[in-house]
Amino acid sequence: MKIIIYVMLMFVLSSCKYNEDNKSLTSAKNITCTYKACTGTYIGKEFINGDDIAHQFSNQMAASVGDQLKKLYASRTYAKVDLKNISMRTDGMGSGSVSYSLTIPFLSVTNKCDAYTAFDHVGGWNHTPALAQRKAQLKNVVLAGRHLNISELKTTKQGLQEYWIQWQHKVVQADCEYN
């Protein structure tokens, strides 16, 4: 029993990042996903010890969206991200505390081989995202014969820039390889 409790505690702690500046835990629990969208907001420090904490919310959201697309696919509710209607908003940049809100909407598709099951991003504050590098990193996870589906550059008024990327995962959608 002690081992089970220990494992559960380690799982909870590993899914959170300890923030020494305000002695609290920052986690992805502020993201909600449905069959229509994933939404969430990060409110907190921009940088801690030089780490871009606010931008790490994009990582959390991308992981949550990828997980949700896989869940939908497994339940035969086929979907893909509506890249054109992704909404990003930042407030408070430069003040030490920022609010970063994201909405990643889904589109329903009828054919499972038109669905997407993986999601990522590349971007940052006030610099050009390294899109070519991210494409190279992802080239081996895409279903054979398919390509990355990449959004237009999304930019907030305060300089956050992101490309959002979805693809048909070669393992999850292996049965779609020749469709």
Q: Is the pTM of this model over 0.85?
A: no
Give the pLDDT confidence score for residue 44 in this predicted structure. 86
pLDDT in tens, the chain (179 residues): 333 333 233 333 333 333 333 333 343 358 999 999 999 999 988 777 666 777 889 999 999 999 999 999 999 999 999 999 999 999 988 787 889 999 999 999 999 999 999 999 999 887 889 999 999 999 999 998 899 999 999 999 988 999 999 999 999 999 998 75
CB-count burial class (<10 Å; 0-12, 13-18, 19+) for 110: exposed
- Read off the tokens for 70: 């896989």
Contacts of 176 (CB under 8 A, 6+ apart): 112, 113, 143, 168
The kind and range of the H/E element at 34 are none
C-alpha to C-alpha distance for 8 and 10, rounded to whole angstroms: 5
The number of CA neighbours under 13 Å toward the Cβ of 126 is 4
User: Are the CB atoms for 115 and 173 separated by under 8 Å?
Assistant: yes
Domain map (residue ranges) of the chain: 31-176
CA distance 50 to 70: 34
Give the bridge partners for 91, in sequence order: 99
Question: Which tokens is 157 given?
Answer: 């008024």
At residue 141, the 3 state secondary structure works out as coil
